[in-house]
Chain A
Amino acid sequence: MTRAARQIAALALLTALMAGLQALAPAAASATPTPRASLTDIESDVMCTSCREPLEVAQSPQADSERAYIRMLIAQGETKQQIINNLVAQYGPSVLGKPPAHGFNLTVYILPPAILILGVAILFVTLPRWRRRTRAAVAQPPPDLKPLDPGEARRLDDDLARFGG
């Protein structure tokens, strides 16, 4: 197997590993029973739509109104997902802490992993090249290095002997 083929195989393995981990996460989550919704849990995932702040830190009349509405839905026994769906129906998609994955919002989901993959790919390509260059530089003497003539060699030995004690 050539070096390039090994690099591509390693990159493919890494990508497959990341995809596998992502696929496992929801499966693990669905295996556990749905927890009861709590205000603090939901607050961290939604926004105060008028103040454009996460609801968990927002202090405004609209934030208080939104919290009261969430408390009412919790009291009605709705799950977290049902409550979030209900909030979107009432306040629109801007209530979501993470924007829905369509249109321009897709950049939020695509860009970070794309940059990560691009960075890893650049490292895969450049690191071996840098290492090869460094090894070559250490192994080969500079081309213009001439051997010492006997006089210079003698003087160098004398100096080394003097400084070496």
Chain B
Amino acid sequence: MRRFAIPAIALAVAVGLLALLGFGVAHLGTDSSIDAMVARGDYPVAPNAQMQLPILGSSGRESLADLRGKVVVINVFASWCGPCVAEAPILEQEQRQLVKNNATILGVAYLDNSSDSEQFVRQHGITYPVVRDVSGNFVKGFGTSGVPETYVINRQGRIVALQREQLAGGWLQQTVSRFLTQPA
């Protein structure tokens, strides 16, 4: 019995290490479950709605829950990202229409430092609120794997559309207009 003790310990350690490796790898992948639910029309509740995020250039904080009842377009961006620069005018133009319809864009600066994000906001004349997700925990709930990404949240707080690449054409305007007329 004793002669098996050391091989058994070595085996247990090896199995433990493999389990750790498996756990780590399983948590590295991107989460595409939201995409599948939205595609099916089974709109998921927007995650992390209560999470308070710091407002860019201010000491205040804001959460998605604070905007409940509005149609919210979450745009995850970074100042160093070329596609984010390209879509900034589309977002700002859309914001001018949204504010008239109890709706707003919410910019989420991600993987970016605050001074660069603030410069980005100034350069592109952005008027919609922008928060910072320093830890990445807010966007992680949306399965964000990079920038830019855009999510449309309806008045009931559910994700009804998303775009995991640069906004192009009239996608944003066409998508959002479908939900603006819905009651809160």
Contacts and interface: CB of A to CB of B under 8 A. Distances in A.
Interface residues of A, number: 22
Contacts of B146: 50
A91 B111 contact: yes
Nearest to A61: B80
Contact of A90 (B17, B80, B82, B114): B114
Interface string A111-151: 10001001000100110000000000000000000000000
Interface in B132-154: 134-136, 146-147
A50 B146 CA distance: 7
A49 B111 contact: yes
A125 B10 CA distance: 14
B39 interface: no
A62 B78 contact: yes
Interface in A67-98: 69, 89-94
B116 interface: yes
Given A122-B6, A126-B6, A92 B80 contact: no
A69 B9 contact: no
Contact of A92 (B10, B135, B147): B135
Contact of B113 (A69, A94, A115): A69
Interface of A: 49-50, 61-62, 64-66, 69, 89-94, 104, 107, 111, 115, 118, 122, 125-126
Interface of B: 6, 9-10, 13, 17, 20, 23, 78-82, 111-116, 134-136, 146-147
